[in-house]
Structure 1
């Protein structure tokens, strides 16, 4: 049987620190109103976003704004232009398909099982290399999922929407994006 003395002696100073650490050094506890739950894509949490099918599985309001989690079917040719998130980091986990990410002057090719970390304040873009790609997107802190709600329509079916008839309303897209801390590179004059 392990005694307190042999535990502290065996683990050295680290054991003492772990045993007697101040609460301010430990991870914050979850807010008391948070409760475990399970989510899956369904009509009540899914949207048609500029040719994509998007499901908001976990909202910022579910996690005390710590994160949000989305599942999205990305479609080749409908990717966003280069942009910078100023409020949240993104992590893309590729479930199916292939995506090329350009971030921080480097290019990464991700396939099923790969995860791509896109830190805030670093411009990035991505290109779907297959006809479509299924991804999970973790946003931390949460909140940016509301951009998608504003720019989408509720999905009437759990399938991709018809392809967009034309370009999205760029003025609306930029105005809405900017309210959520997204920056786009400035175009050179004359373009």
Structure 2
């Protein structure tokens, strides 16, 4: 089963472009894959996915990741696996945007990107609403973005 083409259209939120290339529905719930392009110095607040493993595949650019307190720099061609329940974040470093794949198992979290892009909620102004919606996708924010750490 596939999603409506309109739901698969790329969305932009806080300067990052998200394109769902495999939806939860198309994989029977097993996984989702999102292609993302994030600008320099961008990245989410520290967070944890309670019900999904997350894999980042760096296509271009460079990003610094924090996974359970350990920092690691990733270049194009490198991958990092984030088991569910692990606190993590990242920040795009350098002058170039980061293009990467986000693979979630099981799928479903891609709906969060669609909602945020559709409604253009801002951080920190709309953090209460963002946190409420994130909980519906089994995500908790646990700290600041990496740039503030």
Question: In which range does the TM-score fall when normalised by the shorter chain?
Answer: 0.7 to 0.9
Structure 1 unaligned residues grouped into runs of 5+: 1-32, 35-41, 155-163
Match of 1:152?
117
Match of 2:132?
175
**Structure-2 change in CA distance of 1:53 and 1:105 (3 Å):** same
Larger radius of gyration: 1
Report the CA distance between 1:76 and its aligned residue: 2.4
Higher helix fraction (1 or 2):
1
8 Å CA contact retained: 1:50, 1:168: no
Q: State the superposition RMSD in angstroms.
A: 2.6
Match of 1:46?
10
Match of 1:129?
93
Q: Distance in 1 between matches of 2:63 and 2:24?
A: 26
Q: Distance in 1 between matches of 2:42 and 2:124?
A: 10
Structure 2 unaligned residues grouped into runs of 5+: 145-149
How many residues are treated as equivalent by the alignment? 139
Higher RCO (C-alpha under 8 Å, 6+ residues apart): 2
8 Å CA contact retained: 1:45, 1:57: no
Look up the SS of the partner of 2:45 in the other structure: coil
Match of 1:23?
none
8 Å CA contact retained: 1:90, 1:117: yes
Residue 53 of structure 2, aligned match among 89, 111, 116: 89
Match of 2:42?
78
**Structure-2 change in CA distance of 1:108 and 1:63 (3 Å):** same
Look up the SS of the partner of 1:61 in the other structure: coil
**Structure-2 change in CA distance of 1:97 and 1:103 (3 Å):** same
Report the CA distance between 1:170 and its aligned residue: 1.0
Q: Distance in 2 between matches of 1:146 and 1:55?
A: 11
Deviations, residues 38-79 of structure 1 (Å, cap 9, x unaligned): xxxx99521012211110001000011000001000122331
